[in-house]
Structure formats: structure tokens, C-alpha cells
Structure 1
Amino acid sequence: MRLSLSITGSALALVVALGSVSCPSAARAQRHHHMHEQQTTDTSGAAGDIDDTASHSKPAGKKAAPKLGETQDTIIAVINGIPLTRRDVDNRGRLFALSTGLPMSEDLMSRMRPQIIRQLIDERLRTQEILNRHINVSPEQIAAAIDGIEKRNGMPEHALRDRLAQDGVSLTTLIDQIRVQIGWTQVLRQELGSRYRMTSQEISQRTEALQKQEGRPEYFISEIFVPVEDARHSDTELKFTETIIQELRKGAPFSIVAAQFSQAQSALDGGSMGWVQEDSLDPEVVAMARKMPEGAISNPIKVAGGYVIATVLGKRVIGHQPGTLMNVRQAFIPFAEHLNPQNPTPQQRQALQTAVQIAQQSHSCDDLAAANKKLGEVRPSNPGELQLERLNPQMQQVLGTLPLGKTTRPLVSEDGIALLMVCSKTTKNFANRTPSEIADQLLNERVEQTARQLDRDLHRRAVIDMRSKT
């Protein structure tokens, strides 16, 4: 069972921090993902207070998590006078295992450890830059991020601490990662200054460029970027990249792995680059994207500065992508425990009866939204506009033929029962981009360039004493 530990959802964290540029395409992608994952299992745990301290206690009856390193206090590296220990590295490995639902064996950890060390060194440098700029990440910001994680996983308030402790993960490990992510977006905001605002001339120039490319392919692509420090000796990074690909192909969620390990700024958006034209990608990535089926995980792609793992979630021709946009309402009745189809509990049987009653009594989208509100609105009544073609095949079949104003049959999953109703349908050419969407793409490109340059500068100025690579 996995936990979604991404703190930024689908909206680019920098855009959220700036508060001036909307990201509608990314928001729609997140809502599509939520509908696509209708069958995904949520996780819950016992309530407990959350503070900015490590939690190492184990609940009664739980076996303590085995140590992944022999000496937890061994110093791996000293970064500008700040030590990085084996415990720091192993805790991050356990956090990865918890967020992906994959078992963390000593063999897997040994293959991942060098890259985790590099990532933590990068985070230490970023943390020092955040402090040097006197940027303060408040406890309220961290608490809000943790609250968001709990809500996305259907956990009671303050339950995350106990869940982390059960899996042998220090709460401080997650808090440190959240603090760096939030603080780094503020650093980039300072670096960009007035350059984060796209001028009407820049938007017009990009619009004209897209019009000239009409008829050419573009890709909805996500990436994981693994930087290579020394191009002459890239065996360690290649080995790590191959390990990550193996775990992705076993079922590790791409967006979570990207958020944990990608060193591209798109990691803040779960690796998503959105719709990208071929001339905005490395030639090696373009060659792979042309051949890849949608949803596949690429082999390691060697690019300037490192390796890329890519997945293509959609392909279209610039200027041509007709589709159906739907306005939907939903009601959700949660189960008190996960469903065993062969032995449903009395509460689950009652939930089904309630769902049938709601379906019979709901004759409009307002009726269904009101019913969901009475149920506590565990899931939002309005999941936002959905593109029919981007839903999974089962959901396309359910909603594609559903008359307006009619509820679906009860849709039963492990964690509850959903009812959906389509309020309206419109046909749209999704290849036509709004000025705000073009501004988002321009900003993303500018942020990525700024982030990579600043990371290089921090490394160049740093004094890093490597004590051990394992």
C-alpha cells in the first residue's frame, strides 16, 4: 500500500507561490488523474499530533523496521560544514518505499543509495541558500502541506506521524523535504524577479510559432531527470536510472518517483511537462517519444547533463485535437474499512443501499452535490471539467453514453461507493491554447533554466567533503 506524499498536486509549485499565473491545463490533468484512479486504495491510520521532531517509536505489536545501514551515525559527507549521515540516507529510502508501496530491500537500497546521497547533498545546498536569503518556511506552511497529504490519502487529521513511525520513517525526513520544496520555490521567485511575468509580446511570439508548426506532433510527456556530475564516469547514475525504471515498470507511480528523485524543476509537478513540441525537447527524447506507446516507460535516454526517464501520456497534432469536455458532479460514500467482495461488512451493505437511494432521489447535479455535502464531502462534489478522452476506458464507457442529469449505477471500489452525473458536454479543440496556458509553458521553461543554473552555481561554490559513497 502506498501513500501519495507529493505536496504540490499538479499545479507547479512556483506558479502557486507567485499567485499570478494560472495553470488550468495542469489542474485539469490532476482532476483527470483523480477520476482515472477511481479504484485506487486510500490509506488511513491512527490519529496523533504532528510536530517538527523525529518519531522513532513503534506501535505495540509492530516489528521494528530493520536498519538498512550497519552504522546509522556514520557521516557520509560534510556539505559546507553540515554533516550528512547514513541515517539521513536510509530514512529517505524508507520514505520512498512508503510513498511507492514497494518493498525496500537491502539490495535495492544499495543500488539507490549513491543517488539518494547526491539528492540530499543538493537539498542541503538548497537549504543553505534558503537560509542565506533569510527565507522562512513557517510551521503553518508545513502543517498545511502535511494536511494536504493526509486528505489525499483519506487519512484522519494528524494520522501521518503514526503511519510514518509504523514504517520506520522519521517525521523529520518528510518535514525536511517539504521545507526545501517550499523554500526553493521562493528562492526561484527571487531569482526570476520581474521575469516571471510574461509580456503580451512574448505570448504573441509563441502563439505565432505554434501556428507555424500546425500539423506537427506534440507530446504530453513526463520526465525524471538524473544529472551526471562527470560525463566520463556515469556508471553510478546509469545504474540508478536503470533501477528506477525497473521499479516504475513494477508499478511505482511515476509522479511520486519523479517528485522524490528527479532533479528537473518539473519534479514539483510530479515530472509533468505538459504538452511539449518537438523543438522544445532534446533530440534523443524526441526520437524515443515518436516510437513509444502511450503509458510506456522509456529506457535510459542520454541527454546533455545526465539521463532522462520519460513516459508519454498523450500524442496529438498541433492545432488538431477534438474532444469532449464534461462538467460532472459526484457523491461518495466511504467505507469504514477496505472492502472484501466475498465478505462485505454491514456498514458496506448499508452504504450500497444509501447509494441506491441517492441515485433514485437525485434528478439534477444540484441534488447530487447536496447529497454529497450531507455525506461530509469526502471527495469534492465538483471534480472540475473532465476531458472524456483522457479518462480510463472503463470510465469513458460509463460517462460517454450517460444521459445528462442521470446518475451512474453505484461504482464500488475498495474504499467506497461513487455516484457520478454529467451536467453538460461540449466539443472542443483541445489543441487550441489560451494565452494563460502559453504563459504557463513559457514560465515553466524559464523556471527550469533558472533552477539548473542556480544548482550549478551552488555546487561550484560549495565545499563538499565526501567521507563515504555508501
Structure 2
Amino acid sequence: MVSFRSYLSFLLMLLPLYLTQSLPATAQTTASVVAVIDGTAISSVDLENKIRLLLLTTGKSDNAENAKLYRDEALEMLIDETLKIQAGRSLTPESLTQATTTARAFFENIYADEILSATERLQAAGIRASTALDQIKADIVWTGVLTQKFRRQFAQVDTLANAERTKILADLSAPQYKISEIVLMPIPSRPLAKTHELVEQLEKAISDGADFNAIAAQYSMSGSSKNGGNIGWVQAKKLPSDILQAIENTRLSEKNIVLLKSEDFSYIFRLEGYREFGFNDPRLDTVSMARAVLMLPPNISEEAKDAQISKLKAETEKINSCDALRQYHLSLGSEVLGQINNIVIEKLENSFQQLVLGLKVEEASDVIQTADNELSVFMICSRVKEAPDIPSLEKLKEAEFNKLYSVLSLRYLMRLRRAASIEIKTE
């Protein structure tokens, strides 16, 4: 009888031949095995695609020098993904298949852009879609593993979420921040100094235009990673004091990226919104507006533009109803709509939010330039205060789950690493 070890060795001998034959015609790389984790092989093709994904995510050029810099990080990620999937299959053999539908939704949200689907965008960069999709599947499967392995700890989630809901309802006017996060912790293969160095590199990449959500999906050790790091609205008073201070300083400086390092955790936060009065913030009001729009001729002089502004102001400052402003708009011959209905103030561009918040109903605004050749006057026709949109219990459970996830995930993954047979093939 052939032993399992002999059979495995035979399969590993065949793997490079299979992978080479399965590569696209344009690929010139000969595939090989770069690591074996408890009998599961990671190929050089897997590694090359992972490296390319990290380079794309961080906005780096796909060249030999950068590929070498990212090789070790990419391989460590693939090892972790393999261990997560193995752990999931040992508990629920069909877990990877079950994760597919959910993973695809996250995949599109994280990697698609305004023009290309997630798959199209990755393929355009020479990356297999499965490289990113498999990582998301691994994180979903891993969530199930942790839930089963740490039942006692996660049993508290319902109680904590209900308590959080009670606290929210007791203070609906508490200030809130809308944030996304990237969370890193030191690990044996990346001690504290290296972790701090990495988080600084990621923060610079984001500041230079790299995709925050894609970086979160690749690097973050929080449960929010599978959703691109999205957290949503959080009451300011619920944040640890050091995080709150860093976020508030960033808001006041009119920036939106927060970097915070400690001996236990390193964070990058993206500040996406602020509500001074929480669920009672006037930015949550729904408004309908009338507007009068005057189109200016191309290449108009500043002197002529100033004259048009003065004329428009004089003709609109005595208008005191939306019907009258709409009629005036029609007289200007503009093709843009003279009415904007049912829009939440918070959805408007920041400077326009300030304009709307300062207006009373049926009060004409000052003349503002809304485009290169466009002058506008706005008037609020109606303003409705909506009922507070309290987070669902499921959303609150997710937030409490993610708090536990970061610590328990690392602890259990390190346990699996110590117990696993991990063979790294030399280059």
C-alpha cells in the first residue's frame, strides 16, 4: 500500500507541471511550490498574484524591486489564509463553498471602481480575481471558526449589543464620527518595530491615493477587514480617549486620515463624517429646494461676471416663495431643473451643507457660483426632521463582534501556526 506521504510527494512533483499548463499563454513564469502547510501547497503562481495584488493595493509599481520587498509579506498572508481555510474545513467541510456568495458581494464593494468591475480591474493589472476573492472567503470562514471555538466569549455579543442600543437611545444627541479602520498588531514574523514601519508605509500609500478599502481588506486584522474596514457611525464617547483625541485633532485640521501607534495596536482611521448632535443633527433633515440658475457665456470677463452677479442678486433678493423662484428660473432659459426634492442635507457637498443649514424656509440664498459658467440662487421649500435612524441590533452585534475578533483571531491563529507543519521552500 502506498503511504499518504508518498502519495503527497507524488502530487507535489506533478503540481509545477499542472500549474505551468494552466497558466495563460502570455505568462512566461515556470510554476513551483513555495510553501507547504500541513500538506497544502502554495505555488509560485499564488505568490506572484498575491504580490501583484499588494502592489496594486498600495499603489506601487509592479517591478522586480517592489516584488522582492513585498514577497515575505505576501507569503505570510497566504500561509494565514491557508490555515484559516483548513481550520474551517475541519469544522465544516463545505464552509468555503458556503462563503462564496457573501464573499462576492464584499469583493465587488472593495475592488470595483466607477468604470470596471472588481474582476475586470484585477485582470487589467494581471491579477487573478480568485487571489482577492479567496482571501475574503478565508476571512468569512475564519469568522465561523472563531465563533465556534470561542462560544463563551461570543455569547456576550447579544447582551453587549442590547446594552449599547439602550445607551444610544438614552443620548441621541451625543456627537458621532463616521469612520473606517485598518488595525495591525505585532506578530512573531513582524515584531513591533516592523509593524510600526508597515503602518507608516500604508498611511503614506493612502495619502498618496491608494485605495483605503482594498488595503484594509489585505492588511487589517480586525473583523471589519472583509468589508474593506468600514465601521460606520460611532458615538464619540464610545471611542478610547487616545483614539478620540487623534480623530478630533484630524477633524479640526480638516484632514481625514488618522495614524495612531502603540505597543499593542497600530491604527489607520479614515474620517468620513461628523455629526455634532448625533442622531438629532440638523444635517439629517430632509429638504426640498428651488433654484434659479443663470448660465454665463464662455470666457466671460471677471468684470462682466461681477455685473451678472449683482443683477441676479438684485432680482432675487425680494423673491420670497419657491413658486416665484421657479418661475424666475424658467425666465433665465437654463436647461437644468429648477427643483431638487427630498435630499438629506448630509448627502450634499460640505460647503453646500453650510449654505443650506444657514437658510430659513423660503429665504433666498446669496448668489453662488456652482460651476465654471453657472450662477445659482437657492431657496428651501420644505424641511423635515426625520425619525432617528438607530443602528439595527444586527449592526450593533457586528460592532461588538469585531471588538472581540481582533484579539481572539490573532491568539488562535498563532496557536494554529505553532501546531502546523509549515515548510518554506528556498528560492
TM-score grouping bracket, smaller chain normalisation = 0.5 to 0.7
Structure 1's 391 and 93: CA in aligned 2 closer, same or farther, altered over 3 A?
farther
2:256 to 296, 308, 332: 296
Q: Does the alignment pair 1:137 with 2:97?
A: yes
Structure 1's 358 and 87: CA in aligned 2 closer, same or farther, altered over 3 A?
farther
Q: CA–CA distance in 1 between the matches of 2:344 and 2:212? A: 21
Q: CA–CA distance in 1 between the matches of 2:257 and 2:54? A: 19
**Conserved 8 A contact 1:284-1:303:** no
Task: Name the structure 2 match of 1:34.
Answer: none
Q: Does the alignment pair 1:244 with 2:202?
A: yes
CA shift digits 1:109-163 (9 cap, x unpaired): 444333322222211111111221212415973895499469954668xx86665
SS of the aligned residue for 2:256 comes to: coil
Q: Which moves more between the two structures, 113-122 or 241-250?
A: 113-122
Structure 1's 198 and 326: CA in aligned 2 closer, same or farther, altered over 3 A?
same
> Of Structure 1 and Structure 2, which has the larger fraction of its residues in helix?
2
Structure 1's 425 and 268: CA in aligned 2 closer, same or farther, altered over 3 A?
farther
Task: Name the structure 1 match of 2:267.
Answer: 308
How far does residue 447 in structure 1 lie from its aligned partner after superposition?
A: 4.5
Q: Does the alignment pair 1:103 with 2:71?
A: no
SS of the aligned residue for 1:78 comes to: strand
Task: Name the structure 2 match of 1:50.
Answer: none
**Conserved 8 A contact 1:324-1:425:** no
Task: Name the structure 2 match of 1:183.
Answer: 141
SS of the aligned residue for 1:309 comes to: strand
How far does residue 248 in structure 1 lie from its aligned partner after superposition?
A: 0.5
Task: Name the structure 2 match of 1:260.
Answer: 218
Q: Does the alignment pair 1:392 with 2:352?
A: no
Q: Which moves more between the two structures, 112-121 or 229-238?
A: 229-238
Q: CA–CA distance in 2 between the matches of 1:147 and 1:448? A: 21
How far does residue 279 in structure 1 lie from its aligned partner after superposition?
A: 6.9
Question: Which of these two proteins has the greater Rg computed from alpha carbons?
Answer: 2
Q: CA–CA distance in 2 between the matches of 1:236 and 1:364? A: 52
Structure 1's 430 and 231: CA in aligned 2 closer, same or farther, altered over 3 A?
farther
**Conserved 8 A contact 1:322-1:428:** no
CA shift digits 1:25-56 (9 cap, x unpaired): xxxxxxxxxxxxxxxxxxxxxxxxxxxx9663
Structure 1's 287 and 77: CA in aligned 2 closer, same or farther, altered over 3 A?
farther
**Conserved 8 A contact 2:285-2:345:** yes
Q: CA–CA distance in 2 between the matches of 1:238 and 1:388? A: 39
SS of the aligned residue for 1:228 comes to: coil
How far does residue 216 in structure 1 lie from its aligned partner after superposition?
A: 7.0
1:56 to 17, 24, 47: 24
How far does residue 94 in structure 1 lie from its aligned partner after superposition?
A: 1.7
**Conserved 8 A contact 1:259-1:268:** yes
2:193 to 235, 256, 268: 235
Structure 1's 297 and 461: CA in aligned 2 closer, same or farther, altered over 3 A?
same
Structure 1's 204 and 170: CA in aligned 2 closer, same or farther, altered over 3 A?
closer
Q: CA–CA distance in 1 between the matches of 2:111 and 2:355? A: 27
Task: Name the structure 2 match of 1:121.
Answer: 79
**Conserved 8 A contact 2:35-2:423:** yes
SS of the aligned residue for 2:180 comes to: strand
How far does residue 230 in structure 1 lie from its aligned partner after superposition?
A: 3.8
Letter in 1 for 2:258: S
Structure 1's 114 and 193: CA in aligned 2 closer, same or farther, altered over 3 A?
same
The aligned runs of 1:366-377 (5 Å cut-off) are none
Q: CA–CA distance in 1 between the matches of 2:399 and 2:112? A: 27
Q: Please give the TM-score of this superposition, normalised by the length of structure 1.
A: 0.56
Structure 1 residues without counterparts, runs of 5 or longer? 1-52, 59-63, 330-355, 366-384, 405-410, 413-421
Q: CA–CA distance in 2 between the matches of 1:214 and 1:160? A: 38
Structure 1's 285 and 295: CA in aligned 2 closer, same or farther, altered over 3 A?
same
CA shift digits 1:210-260 (9 cap, x unpaired): 578888765433221222114994333333222211210101121221112
The aligned runs of 1:75-114 (5 Å cut-off) are 75-98=33-56, 103-114=61-72
The aligned runs of 1:327-406 (5 Å cut-off) are 387-389=344-346, 391-393=348-350, 396=353
Q: CA–CA distance in 2 between the matches of 1:132 and 1:185? A: 14
Letter in 2 for 1:244: L
Q: CA–CA distance in 2 between the matches of 1:256 and 1:288? A: 23
Identity score, percent: 23
CA shift digits 1:301-324 (9 cap, x unpaired): 1241x4222233334557575134
Q: CA–CA distance in 1 between the matches of 2:421 and 2:392? A: 46
Task: Name the structure 2 match of 1:39.
Answer: none
**Conserved 8 A contact 2:81-2:138:** yes
Q: CA–CA distance in 2 between the matches of 1:164 and 1:232? A: 28
SS of the aligned residue for 1:292 comes to: helix
Q: Does the alignment pair 1:461 with 2:419?
A: yes
Number of equivalences: 342
Letter in 1 for 2:271: V
Structure 1's 102 and 270: CA in aligned 2 closer, same or farther, altered over 3 A?
same
The aligned runs of 1:2-21 (5 Å cut-off) are none
Letter in 2 for 1:307: S
Q: CA–CA distance in 2 between the matches of 1:228 and 1:150? A: 25
**CA RMSD across the alignment:** 5.0
**Conserved 8 A contact 2:177-2:234:** yes
Q: Does the alignment pair 1:323 with 2:291?
A: no
